[in-house]
Structure formats: C-alpha cells, structure tokens
Amino acid sequence: MTTFAIQGRCLAAPPPLDWREQLARMLGAKPRRIGNWAELGMYGALSCLADSGEGELPPDALLMLGSQRGTYVSTGQVLEQMRDDLPMPLTFLQTQPSQLLALLAAQMRWRGHAGFVAGGTPQALLQLASAQCGRAGMLLGWVDEMDGGSSLWLRLRPCEVSGDKPVVASAESMFSLDATHLYVVGSGAQAG
C-alpha cells in the first residue's frame, strides 16, 4: 500500500463565479484562445499548487490529468468547421488534451513527466499515477466541462503515515475536504 498526504487541493465543482477573473490574476493576463476546458484545468491546477504552499512543482514530480469527456466541446466545433473547410488552427489545438499539459508546464516554468488519461475514474487515474510517481509525488487533476464544469486537483506526496480507518475511495471522498491521506492498494484507492 502506498500512502499519499494531501498537501494541497482545489475542489472547484462547479468553480466559483469569478474563476475566470481569478485565473487571469494568476496568469497575469486573460488566457487567449486556449479553450474553456484548458482554462478550467489551469485554474484548478494553479489554485491547487497555491494551496499547497509550494512556489513551484519539483522537476521530478508527476503531473497527471484525467477527464471523463475532455475536449469534446472543441472537438465538436472542429467537426462543424470541417464540413466545408479546414479547422481554425488554434481551435484544432484545443481538441488536443495534451495542450493543457504544455500550458501548465509553461506557466509553472516546469519540465517533467506529464500525461493525460481519457475516461475511467479518478481512482483508476490515481492507481496508474502512483505506480509512476517518485518521492516528489504528483499533481493530479480531473477536469470536465459538463454540468457547469469541474476542476478537481490534489497535490499528493508519498508519506509513511497511515490513517486509522481508510475507506475505499469514491471520487467524492478523494476530492473532499475531509480526506487528509489517500491510500493506493492493488485493487484501488482509499481515502482517510
């Protein structure tokens, strides 16, 4: 069993009404033509990192992102554009979930291992990420545009401490204010 301490979080589901203004303040300017999904992701990731108190993500940390439907809105727009012409280049880029990884890396002035996993559950994402992350831990996010949008992020560091009564995690318990640790076992993730 691997234990992770939750060192920071952003639980924006849905995000606050002024999340775009908050994002613009964090970036120093309004983001330009990166798409709503990527903006949501940046808002959550940067808020989470700020909550952790870390000025920057360590280079050997893992950045892992998941989503139920990802860039489906931008993809629909591109398919519409392609009925009688090529897509707009920047709109096409918005269909690529990995663009968010590059945007985050640039904003955090960070270079390291990052990935996007499509579908599944946050628990499955955590299981996969935990096998790949080292002592610097990970920044793990789950971002979707449906139902008003959600941007759920955790800054996790491996630790020795274990909680009293870990319970099998649902997405709700993983991304709750009550959880202080996450436990990854062979068959799934647990929260405590």
24, 78, 136, 159: residue in contact with another protein (rule CB under 8 A): 78
How buried is residue 112: exposed, middle or buried, by Cβ count under 10 Å (0-12/13-18/19+)? middle
User: Smaller CB distance to another protein: residue 79 or 167?
Assistant: 79
Return the SS3 of 74: helix
Q: Rule CB under 8 A: is residue 98 a binding residue for another protein?
A: yes
Least spacing, CB of residue 100 vs another protein, in Å: 8
The footprint of another protein on residues 4-63 (CB under 8 A) is: 63
User: Smaller CB distance to another protein: residue 48 or 114?
Assistant: 114
Contact 91, 81 (CB under 8 A): yes
Q: Rule CB under 8 A: is residue 160 a binding residue for another protein?
A: no
DSSP 130-170: HHH--TT-EEEEEEE-STT-EEEEEEEEEES---SS-EEPP
Which residue type, as a one-letter code, is found at position 183? Y
85, 147, 164, 178: residue in contact with another protein (rule CB under 8 A): 85
User: Smaller CB distance to another protein: residue 132 or 180?
Assistant: 132
Sheet of strand 181-185, all strands in order from the earlier edge strand to the far edge: 62-67, 138-144, 150-159, 2-12, 181-185, 188-191, 167-168
Least spacing, CB of residue 57 vs another protein, in Å: 11
Least spacing, CB of residue 98 vs another protein, in Å: 3
Residue 158: HSE in the Cβ half-sphere, 13 Å Cα cutoff = 15
Q: Rule CB under 8 A: is residue 124 a binding residue for another protein?
A: yes
Return the SS3 of 179: coil
Count of positions (residues) in the chain = 192
Q: Rule CB under 8 A: is residue 158 a binding residue for another protein?
A: no
**Enclosing H/E stretch for 21:** helix 19-27
Least spacing, CB of residue 30 vs another protein, in Å: 18
Q: Rule CB under 8 A: is residue 1 a binding residue for another protein?
A: no
* Residues making contact with another protein (CB under 8 A): 63, 67-70, 72, 75-76, 78-79, 82, 84-89, 92-93, 95-107, 110-120, 124, 127-128, 131-132, 186
